[in-house]
């Protein structure tokens, strides 16, 4: 069976911040107030407000009444009785919300930073195969490949929702299309199958979405959606 993933991009600069703020819970408002960097505060308020609007469509509830809690490792969720699964990523002016039913999901967007010492980072944290792949590319190509790998790994970590039971440096995401990974949380004996794939995000960013799969042959359909 194919799982569906809905993707909701957020243009943070065009979010109605007053409306967003009005839907936040007390806890979220305190969290926003505690963020001292105005840009980071705006990103949190805009994305959480838009997340509430998106979830209201699936849950048929008004945005302000949706009970968003967080797992001990910080992954936001809507409670165990609901089958709605979601994840959020934000970077600079770009936010992205991914929603699926029943399957654990993770999403990530990363801006390309040409000044980062990508080969040093890759040598320490990527697999030898990934490192060799980056070394074989031109300098521009290696920057975009580096951020794709990074984004795929982050999306997988965020789908699992906690630290991985196995080492992150052993998580190989080299490939194209849907890439399969067997992962476990810390403390879990059994592994679960996740698929991760790149997303079409604006120039200068990398993006990826990861989802837990019950059947290793099944991949997910992606549907891009926009809030009116
Ligand atoms: C928690 C973590 C996944 C967040 O990722 P990030 O790139 O810093 O930030 P993003 O914008 O993509 O995601 C932030 C959102 O993820 C969600 N989030 C927070 N903790 C999470 C968790 N444990 N699992 C899944 N999602 C989580 C939240 O919605 C958060 O947004 P909010 O604070 O506005 O509510 C990240 O800090 C982390 O620990 N990553 C693993 C580290 C690593 O080794 N990565 C591999 C790269 S080589």
Å from CA of 86 to ligand 1 middle = 13
Burial of 44 (0-12, 13-18, 19+ CB in 10 A): buried
What is the pLDDT at residue 158?
Answer: 95
Ligand 1 site residues (CB inside 6 A) read 44, 47, 73-76, 87-91, 106, 108, 125, 150, 153-154, 157-158, 161-162, 168
As a residue count, the chain comes to: 228
Tokens of 92: 């600079």
State in Å: Cα 158 to ligand 1 middle.
6
Q: In a structure prediction context, what are the per-residue pLDDT tens digits for the chain, which is 228 residues long? A: 678 999 999 999 999 999 999 999 999 999 999 999 999 999 999 999 999 999 999 999 999 999 999 998 899 999 878 999 999 999 988 999 999 998 999 999 999 998 899 999 999 999 999 999 999 988 888 999 999 999 999 999 999 987 776 677 889 999 999 999 988 877 777 888 999 999 999 999 999 999 999 876 678 899 999 998
Taking the model in full, what pTM does it have? Answer: 0.94
- Among candidate residues 173, 67, 96, the one with its CA nearest the CA of residue 129: 173
Domain residue spans in the chain? 3-224
Pick the CATH number of 3-224 from 3.40.50.1000, 3.40.50.300, 3.90.470.20, 3.30.1370.60: 3.90.470.20
Measure 175 CA to ligand 1 centroid, in angstroms: 23
Please report the atom of ligand 1 found closest to the CA of residue 126. Answer: 48
pLDDT value of position 7: 98
Nearest ligand 1 atom to the CA of 168 is 44
Predicted confidence at residue 185, as pLDDT, reads: 77
pLDDT for 165: 65
- Pairing type for strands 220-224 and 3-11 reads parallel
Q: Which among 75, 74, 96, 76 has a CA at the least distance from the CA of 66?
A: 76
| pLDDT for residue 82 | 92
| pLDDT number for residue 156 | 95
């Amino acid at each position: 069976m194919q799982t569906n993933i809905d993707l909701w991009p957020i243009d943070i600069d065009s979010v109605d911040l007053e409306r967003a703020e009005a839907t936040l819970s007390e806890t979220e408002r305190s969290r926003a107030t505690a963020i001292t960097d105005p840009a980071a505060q705006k990103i949190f308020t805009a994305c959480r407000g838009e997340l509430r609007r998106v979830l209201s469509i699936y849950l048929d509830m008004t945005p302000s009444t949706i009970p968003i809690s967080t797992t001990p490792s910080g992954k936001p969720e809507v409670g165990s009785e609901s089958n709605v699964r979601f994840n959020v990523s934000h970077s600079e002016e770009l936010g992205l919300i991914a929603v699926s039913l029943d399957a654990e999901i993770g999403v990530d967007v990363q801006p390309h930073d040409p000044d980062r010492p990508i080969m040093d980072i890759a040598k320490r944290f990527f697999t030898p195969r990934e490192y060799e792949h980056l070394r074989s590319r031109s300098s521009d190509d290696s920057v975009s490949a580096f951020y794709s790998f990074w984004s795929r790994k982050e999306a997988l970590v965020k789908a699992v929702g906690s630290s991985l039971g196995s080492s992150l440096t052993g998580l190989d995401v080299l490939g194209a299309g849907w890439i399969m990974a067997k992962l476990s949380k810390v403390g879990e004996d059994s592994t679960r199958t996740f698929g991760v794939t790149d997303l079409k995000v604006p120039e200068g960013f990398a993006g990826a979405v990861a989802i837990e799969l019950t059947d290793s042959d099944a991949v997910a359909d992606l549907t891009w959606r926009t809030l009116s």
